[in-house]
Every structure is written in structure tokens, then in C-alpha cells.
């Protein structure tokens, strides 16, 4: 039996934690991502190539952070609390190798992991790890080459940088080997690889596209220099431009300035500057109506909607991003989450931003019926494919607002929601699960997190009376019940160690569907309360699978996920 006094105690603790992270002035919430070995190694190396003397202090501080966070076997996890990660280890080793200070233990680890240390063994190992998606593998390999780990450029993949000069609307038809948000990497890596490769009959033709591609890169770069507010992507672009002889180019200097501005006091970099807008959405969801100055916060959030066609993805106006910083790009998950948050803040009263946001989401729907992250139609690679967690989030947002929409838009929404639900049904596994796009579990053998994906989909579909929705939700609930661990918690997959984040999401899903009296909910709550009493409730848990296996933890996830679950349990008990 869940103890009412205990649940009130824990809710108060979580609310106080949340209040401490609120930003004075605009009323939103502060996000703090974990530092990243990948971000730090790539950023430090970019500064090394740009001007090793000028940036000597920052480079050495970054290198020291890498040594301080190295695991006993010479490897690195991406975040300090992560298990060993091949990418983090290879890039950290490359950055240290370039300056003459690598660890011998790291070399042994990489030889064992990649099957050796020859050029081809490194190349084959990286390409095998990432498959057909060259978004991250190509930049990794060119950094290894520039650092001296790879001697020959011959077998490093060539990216078709010249295609970047074509109209953005045709990109989806070109079957590019990188995802939609990686066009800057396509340009920078492609130009570098072209310059380092052997000359052939087509080389003079490709030469003619270099300046036009660099101009395109400049157009894509935000005013602060940071592509997507992401240190890894920005640093990779800077590395390639420096390696290709363009260290003094304006785009290079802006990228380097971004890295200098975003380094932390300890010499590290996170994978992204912050997720403040996303953290705010999560906080509003967790607090519900228990928020002060709702109208002022709603006005602040409405102002963050994009009012122009985005130069990076070509997204039309109306969407929201994960942060309000210049490098951010509108995406479906943040847009859906913002629409849900505004429903709470505005007490269900519609406004122009709501209608624009829903139209934006409908415009993103893929031909398969699902909703992708950034761009419609880029379905070749996983990060551009339709995603069940994002599709369910979109369904929730539209469901909340549909009754107050204009009649023509309402009819359009109903038709599109049918297609979304059919896609959700088609992609649900036989045991009732969905695999999310942006969240994983490093302890799972395949690094996937079907518990998280299923939990959020089940929660987001609450209140949807469509027969298809009811059917797939029922299967999802059965999956969650069947995957609970003996300690009462949930890991990202069956028999994976329990975590606060996944347990909280599973509890939210069960509670919102009236399962608060079920044994699964009681023992799941017991797991969270035990973690609280053991002072382990707020320990970092890497969950984010970002930019092709860049992991991060976010302190707001434990707080908002747990509070959301407890509030839903308490509301169901009333």
C-alpha cells in the first residue's frame, strides 16, 4: 500500500528541487547536461588545430579533464558516469595522441576493440560500429587522420559536399549518407576529404563547388557560431576547415569562438549548451496546475516559437526547439511538448501559436503516417525516420487542443491522427513495446530502451478513445508490467538494471491509466522511495542517445520524471 505521508514528503522534496532550478527573470527552468568525453576531446583538438599557442591553457585543461575521467582500463565513457564507449575512447585517444600524451592502456583497449591499430582496422571498426550512417563515422575518421592515428586517407569515406549547393527541398530525394541536421559536417568533411584524396578526372569539377559549398556553410551557421548548439558538430566542422587550410575563414573563427565561449570551468564541454526549453516543458508537465504566474510563463514560451523558415532544416514557422539559443532548430518532440505545456498554462484557451504549432506538426508527418524529429521525408537513416515516442507525443498535443480548433483544421487533425495511430500499431512489437529514437540504455546489450519508449507512448495516449489507441495501449501496459525487475524498478529493457528515470516513466504510464492500485505501481513507487532514502534519487543516469551514440545525463530528468509519476499516482488516488 502506498503511504500518503511518504508520497507527500517526496513530492515536496522534488518540488523544492525544481524550484531551485528555476531561472529568475523569465520563469523557465535551467538545464545542466553532463560533461562529455566526446565533446571535450573533439573541442580541445579543434582548438589545437586552430591555434595551439593561443588556446594552450584551454587545450591543457581539456586534456587534464580527459585524464581525470579516464577509466582504469584506459577507456572513457561518454559522460563521467557512463560505461566504456568506443567512440569516446577513440576520440579522446586521438586528441591526446596529437599532442604526444596518449595512454598506453588506451592503445591496448582500442586494439582489442577494433581488432588492431592499422589504418584499415580503425576504419573498418568505426564503419562497422555506425553502419550506413556516415554522420558521425566520417568525422571520427578524418579526426583520426588529422591526429596521425590514420596515415592514409585513401579508404576514408568521401562525402558529396557539392550536393549541399542544391535547393534544400531536394535533399530528401538524394539518399544522402548523413542525417538532415548534419549538412555542415557533409560540407566540411567532404571538402577536407576531397583535398586530401588522390586527384582524378573529376577533381577539377569538384573544385568548382568548394567556394559555393563554403558559402552555404556560412549561411547555415548561426550568429554565435554553434551548429545546433552542439560542441561535437561545431568542433568537427572547425577541425575539417582547419585541416583543409581554411583556419582563417569566418565560419572557422566563429566555430572556434563558440567553443571558447561554451567551455566549462573544469575544462570540459557538454554535448549541447543546454536544454532549457525542454526542461521547462518537463517541469510544467510535472507540476501541472501548481505553477505561479502561469500567464507570464505562457507568454514567454509563445515568444520562443519560430516565426521564420529555418535555414538549417528548411522547417516552416510555428515550431519550437529544445533551447532558445541561436543554434537551436525546431523539432517535433519539443513542439508537441510545448503545446501540451501551453494547454496547462493557458487553461485550454487557444491562441494563434497553438494553431501554428499544430499545423507545423502536421506538415512534418511522413508518408508512412509517423512523425520524425526535424524534417519530413528523410527516412533513409534512423535519426530521420518516424519515431513512435515523438508520434505519440504529437497525438497527445493534438488531442488536447482538437476541440477548440477551427473546423477545417479539426477535420484535418482527425484524419492525420488516424494515420499516426495506424503507424503506431504497425510499429509496436509483438510483445507490446516501442523503441524510442532519442533515448537509450547503455546497460542494454543493444543500447536500446523499449521500456522508456513504451512508457511515454502509453502515457501520451491516455484519454484517446480511438479503438486502435485503446488496443495498443493495452498491449503497452502489459509489456510494462512484464518487464518490471524484482527490486520494483525498471531498466531500459527486460533484466537490465533498474534506474530512476525509466522507473518514473513506467510509473507515470501505469498511473495515468488507473493502475495505481496494482502491485507493479506499489513496488515501483517503493523503488523510488528507497532511492530517496538512500540519497540516490538524484544520481546521474545516462539516458540520452544523441548524435549517433553520444550519451548524456541531465539532472532535471530524475526530478521531473519522478515528480510527474508521483503527482499522477496521487491524483489517481483522490
Pick the CATH number of 4-33+274-573 from 3.10.310.30, 1.20.1730.10, 3.40.50.2000, 1.50.10.20: 1.50.10.20
User: Which residues have CB under 8 Å from 124's CB, separation 6+?
Assistant: 114, 115
Pick the CATH number of 35-270 from 3.40.50.970, 3.40.50.720, 1.10.357.10, 1.50.10.20: 1.50.10.20
DSSP 64-107: HHHHHH--TTS---SSTTSPP-HHHHHHHHHHHHHTT---HHHH
Backbone angles phi, psi at 235, to 5 degrees: -65, -40
Same fold, 4-33+274-573 and 35-270: yes
Q: What is the DSSP letter of 545?
A: E
Q: Which residue has the cell 505501481?
A: 521
Q: Is residue 2 within 8 Å of residue 573, measured between CB atoms?
A: yes
Cell numbers that stand for 450 in this block: 523499449
> 512: alpha, beta or left, given left = phi > 0 and alpha = psi -120 to 50?
alpha
- Distance separating alpha carbons of residues 296 and 302, to the nearest angstrom: 10
pTM of the predicted model as reported, rounded to 2 decimal places: 0.95
In three-state secondary structure terms, 281 is helix
- Distance separating alpha carbons of residues 259 and 226, to the nearest angstrom: 8
C-alpha distances in angstroms, 125 versus 172, 190, 314? 28, 21, 34
C-alpha distances in angstroms, 498 versus 359, 366, 443, 449? 39, 34, 10, 12
In the chain, count of helices (H) and strands (E)?
23, 4
- Distance separating alpha carbons of residues 84 and 125, to the nearest angstrom: 16
- Distance separating alpha carbons of residues 454 and 117, to the nearest angstrom: 40
Cell numbers that stand for 132 in this block: 550506413
Name the β-bridge partners of 280. Answer: none
Q: Is residue 109 within 8 Å of residue 75, measured between CB atoms?
A: yes
Q: Which residue has the cell 554565435?
A: 224
The pLDDT profile of the chain, 574 residues, written as one tens digit per residue, is 678 889 999 999 999 999 999 987 778 999 999 999 999 999 999 999 999 999 999 999 999 999 999 999 999 999 999 999 999 999 999 999 998 888 999 999 999 999 999 999 999 999 998 888 888 899 999 999 999 999 999 999 999 999 888 887 777 666 666 667 788 999 999 999 999 998 888 899 999 999 999 999 999 999 999 999 999 999 999 999 999 999 999 999 999 999 999 999 999 999 999 999 999 999 999 999 888 889 999 999 999 999 998 887 788 899 999 999 999 999 999 999 999 999 999 999 999 999 999 999 999 999 999 999 998 887 677 778 999 999 999 999 999 999 999 999 999 999 999 999 999 999 999 999 999 988 999 999 999 999 999 999 999 999 999 999 999 999 999 999 999 999 999 999 999 999 999 999 999 999 999 876 678 888 999 999 999 999 999 999 999 876 557 789 999 999 999 999 999 998 876 6
- Residue 457 has a CB neighbour count (10 Å cut-off) of 27
Cell numbers that stand for 14 in this block: 522534488
Dihedral sign for Cα atoms in the order 177, 179, 180, 184:
negative
Taking each helix axis from N to C end, the angle separating 37-51 and 134-147, rounded to the nearest 10 degrees, works out to 50
Cell numbers that stand for 518 in this block: 496494482
Q: Is residue 479 within 8 Å of residue 454, measured between CB atoms?
A: yes
In three-state secondary structure terms, 245 is coil
Backbone angles phi, psi at 510, to 5 degrees: -70, -40
C-alpha distances in angstroms, 261 versus 153, 227, 267, 546? 32, 14, 12, 22
Q: Is residue 291 within 8 Å of residue 338, measured between CB atoms?
A: no
Strands 544-546 and 550-552: antiparallel
* SS3 of the chain: helix, strand, coil, percent, to 5: 60, 5, 40
Cell numbers that stand for 337 in this block: 511538448
- Nearest C-alpha neighbor of 532 from the set 4, 3, 9, 1: 9
Domain boundaries, the chain: 4-33+274-573, 35-270
CA gyration radius, the chain: 24
Amino acid at each position: 500500500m502506498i503511504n500518503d505521508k511518504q508520497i507527500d514528503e517526496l513530492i515536496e522534496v522534488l518540488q523544492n528541487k525544481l524550484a531551485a532550478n528555476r531561472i529568475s527573470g523569465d520563469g523557465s527552468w535551467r538545464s545542466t547536461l553532463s560533461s562529455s568525453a566526446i565533446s571535450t576531446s573533439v573541442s580541445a583538438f579543434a582548438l589545437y588545430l586552430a591555434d595551439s599557442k593561443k588556446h594552450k591553457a584551454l587545450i591543457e585543461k581539456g586534456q587534464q579533464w580527459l585524464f581525470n575521467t579516464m577509466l582504469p582500463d584506459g577507456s572513457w565513457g561518454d559522460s563521467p558516469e557512463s560505461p566504456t564507449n568506443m567512440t569516446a575512447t577513440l576520440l579522446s585517444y586521438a586528441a591526446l595522441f596529437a599532442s604526444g600524451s596518449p595512454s598506453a592502456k588506451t592503445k591496448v583497449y582500442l586494439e582489442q576493440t577494433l581488432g588492431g591499430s592499422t589504418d584499415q582496422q580503425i576504419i573498418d571498426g568505426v564503419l562497422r560500429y555506425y553502419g550506413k550512417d556516415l554522420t558521425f563515422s566520417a568525422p571520427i575518421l578524418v579526426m583520426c587522420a588529422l591526429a596521425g592515428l590514420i596515415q592514409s586517407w585513401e579508404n576514408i569515406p568521401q562525402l558529396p559536399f557539392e550536393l549541399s549547393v542544391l535547393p534544400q527541398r531536394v535533399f530528401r530525394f538524394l539518399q544522402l549518407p548523413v542525417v538532415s541536421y548534419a549538412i555542415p559536417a557533409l560540407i566540411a568533411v567532404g571538402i577536407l576529404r576531397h583535398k586530401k584524396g588522390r586527384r582524378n578526372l573529376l577533381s577539377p569539377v569538384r573544385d568548382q563547388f568548394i567556394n559555393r559549398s563554403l558559402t552555404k556553410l556560412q549561411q547555415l551557421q548561426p550568429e554565435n557560431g554553434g551548429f545546433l548548439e552542439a560542441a561535437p558538430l561545431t568542433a568537427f566542422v572547425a577541425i575539417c576547415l582547419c585541416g583543409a587550410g581554411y583556419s582563417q575563414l569566418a565560419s572557422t573563427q566563429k566555430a572556434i569562438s563558440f567553443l571558447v565561449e561554451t567551455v566549462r570551468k573544469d575544462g570540459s564541454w557538454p554535448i549541447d549548451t543546454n536544454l532549457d526549453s525542454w526542461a521547462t516543458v518537463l517541469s510544467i508537465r510535472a507540476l501541472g496546475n501548481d505553477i505561479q504566474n502561469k500567464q507570464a510563463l505562457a507568454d514567454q514560451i509563445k515568444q520562443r516559437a519560430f516565426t521564420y523558415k529555418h535555414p538549417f532544416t528548411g522547417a516552416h514557422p510555428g515550431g519550437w526547439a529544445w533551447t532558445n539559443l541561436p543554434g537551436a532548430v525546431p523539432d517535433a518532440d519539443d513542439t508537441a511538448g510545448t503545446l501540451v505545456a501551453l494547454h496547462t498554462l493557458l487553461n485550454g484557451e487557444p491562441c494563434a501559436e497553438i494553431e501554428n504549432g499544430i499545423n507545423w506538426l502536421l506538415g512534418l508527418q511522413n508518408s508512412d503516417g509517423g512523425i520524425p524529429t526535424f524534417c519530413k521525408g528523410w527516412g533513409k537513416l534512423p535519426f530521420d525516420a518516424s519515431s513512435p515516442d515523438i508520434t505519440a507525443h504529437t497525438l497527445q498535443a493534438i488531442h488536447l487542443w482538437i476541440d477548440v480548433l477551427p473546423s477545417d483544421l479539426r477535420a484535418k487533425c482527425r484524419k492525420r491522427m488516424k494515420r499516426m495511430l495506424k503507424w503506431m500499431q504497425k510499429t509496436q512489437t509483438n510483445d507490446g513495446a516501442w523503441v524510442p529514437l532519442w533515448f537509450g540504455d547503455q546497460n542494454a546489450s543493444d543500447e536500446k530502451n523499449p521500456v522508456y519508449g513504451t512508457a511515454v507512448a502509453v502515457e501520451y495516449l491516455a484519454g484517446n478513445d480511438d479503438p486502435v489507441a485503446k488496443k495498443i495501449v493495452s498491449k503497452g501496459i502489459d509489456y510494462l508490467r512484464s518487464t518490471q525487475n524484482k527490486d520494483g524498478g525498471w531498466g531500459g529493457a527486460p533484466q537490465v538494471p533498474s534506474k530512476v528515470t525509466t522507473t518514473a516513466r513506467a510509473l507515470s504510464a501505469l498511473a495515468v491509466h488507473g493502475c495505481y492500485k496494482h502491485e507493479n505501481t506499489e513496488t515501483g513507487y517503493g523503488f523510488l522511495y528507497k532511492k530517496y532514502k538512500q540519497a540516490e534519487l538524484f544520481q546521474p543516469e545516462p539516458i540520452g542517445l544523441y548524435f549517433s551514440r553520444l550519451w548524456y545525463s541531465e539532472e532535471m530528468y530524475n526530478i521531473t520524471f519522478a515528480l510527474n509519476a508521483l503527482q499522477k499516482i496521487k491524483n489517481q488516488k483522490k
